[in-house]
Amino acid sequence: MYKTNEEQEILTIDEFKNDWWEKVEYLLVDIREEEEIESEGGVMGAYNISMYEIPDKIEMAPTWIICLLVCQDGSKSEQLVKYMKNNNYNNMFAIEGGVNSLVEAFPELRS
């Protein structure tokens, strides 16, 4: 079982590696713009939606699965998680360091 609670907003790479990777069902969400993904590289298996689209589409956010949000360096995804939790989406978490840290720890995820 995952080790998070409603107050926790950020997962470290070590927490992701030790407690989540290939152990827990989750949806990885890349909140970067398509242009940024094309220039910086994507994350294999991640669902993409721009963070700027989310306020207009918030009712479409899944509540039945944990969502792990990433941006390039983690800063925007951390802000978005706070916004989502303030709107009662307590199943949202950011991965610390974003895509940069994720693909450094898991090079096989770079697409």
- At 75, give phi and psi (nearest 5°): -70, -45
**What is the per-residue pLDDT across 5-24, written as a single tens digit (0 to 9) for each?**
456 789 999 999 988 888 88
Burial class, 6, CB count within 10 angstroms (exposed 0-12 / middle 13-18 / buried 19+):
exposed
Q: What is the pLDDT of residues 54-99, one digit of tens each?
A: 989 988 999 999 999 999 999 999 999 999 999 999 999 999 999 9
- Of all residues in the chain, the percent with pLDDT exceeding 70 is 94
Long-range own/partner contacts, residues 56-61 (CB < 8 A, 24 or more apart): 58/84, 58/87, 58/89, 61/89, 61/92
Model confidence, pTM: 0.88
